[in-house]
C-alpha cells in the first residue's frame, strides 16, 4: 500500500539525516570489521570500478568496528573512497531493517562464513545480494544451486520470494 511505502521513505529520510547519508542509491554491507569479512577487497573492487569503468557504487557499511578497523579506514582513505563509502558502526535493528529495504543490493564478500545472517536478512527484506565464493554462503542462499560456479554469485528475490541465481553472474 501507498502508506507503507511512504512510511518506509520517511524512515529512510530520518536515517539519511541522522547518519549524513546521500539520497543517491547505495549498496549495503552489514558486517563486523573482522579481517575475514573482506572489507579491504570490497574497497579495492569499488576503486577499480570507479577508476576503470567510471562507475561509482555508493556503499553503506554497518557493524561493530574491531581492532582491524584502522586498517580498513586507512585503505579507504588511500583509495580516495571517503565520499563513496560510509561506515556507520553498530546500528539498532530497526535502522538496519530500514537500510536493507532502502539498499539497491547487499554485498557479502566474506572469506569465511558458517551461515550468512546478512544473506538471510537480505532475503527477508527483499534485497538482491552479491556474495563471495565461500561455499557455505552460496549454499545458504534460499533456493541456491550448489552446482553453480564458486566464483561468487548474485541472487535476486523472485516474485514469489525464492531467490534465483542471476544469470551471467561472474567473479565478484
Taking only the tens of pLDDT, the chain with its 172 residues reads 444 444 466 788 999 999 999 889 999 999 999 999 999 999 999 999 999 999 999 999 999 999 999 999 999 999 999 999 999 999 999 999 999 999 999 999 888 877 778 888 888 898 898 888 765 555 555 554 444 433 444 444 444 333 333 333 334 3
Helix (H, G, I), strand (E, B) or coil at 130: strand
Sequence-ordered list of residues with C-beta below 8 angstroms from that of 151, at least 6 positions apart, any chain: 133, 170, 171, 172
**pLDDT the model gives residue 135:** 57
CA 126/CA 91 separation, integer angstroms: 20
CA 51/CA 105 separation, integer angstroms: 21
Give the strands of the sheet with 105-108, arranged side by side.
85-87, 59-62, 27-30, 105-108, 129-131, 153-157, 163-165
Nearest-10 Cα torsion for 128, 131, 135, 136: -70
CA 90/CA 88 separation, integer angstroms: 7
Which residues, listed in sequence order, are joined to residue 129 by a DSSP beta bridge?
A: 106, 155
Q: Beta strands of 31-74 (E only): which ranges?
A: 59-62
Q: Label residue 67 exposed, middle or buried (CB < 10 Å: 0-12, 13-18, 19+).
A: exposed
pTM (predicted TM-score):
0.77
Amino acid at each position: 500500500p501507498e502508506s507503507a511505502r511512504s512510511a518506509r521513505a520517511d524512515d529512510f529520510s530520518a536515517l539519511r539525516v541522522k547518519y549524513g547519508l546521500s539520497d543517491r542509491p547505495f549498496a549495503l554491507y552489514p558486517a563486523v570489521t573482522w579481517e575475514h569479512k573482506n572489507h579491504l577487497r570490497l574497497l579495492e573492487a569499488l576503486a577499480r570500478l570507479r577508476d576503470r569503468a567510471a562507475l561509482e557504487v555508493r556503499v553503506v557499511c554497518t557493524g561493530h568496528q574491531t581492532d582491524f578497523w584502522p586498517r580498513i579506514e586507512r585503505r579507504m582513505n588511500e583509495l580516495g573512497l571517503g565520499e563513496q563509502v560510509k561506515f556507520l558502526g553498530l546500528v539498532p535493528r530497526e535502522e538496519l531493517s530500514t537500510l536493507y529495504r532502502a539498499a539497491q543490493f547487499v554485498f557479502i564478500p566474506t572469506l569465511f562464513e558458517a551461515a550468512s545472517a546478512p544473506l538471510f536478512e537480505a532475503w527477508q527484506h527483499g534485497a538482491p545480494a552479491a556474495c563471495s565464493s565461500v561455499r557455505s554462503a552460496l549454499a545458504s542462499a534460499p533456493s541456491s544451486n550448489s552446482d553453480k560456479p564458486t566464483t561468487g554469485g548474485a541472487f535476486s528475490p523472485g516474485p514469489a520470494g525464492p531467490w534465483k541465481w542471476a544469470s551471467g553472474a561472474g567473479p565478484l
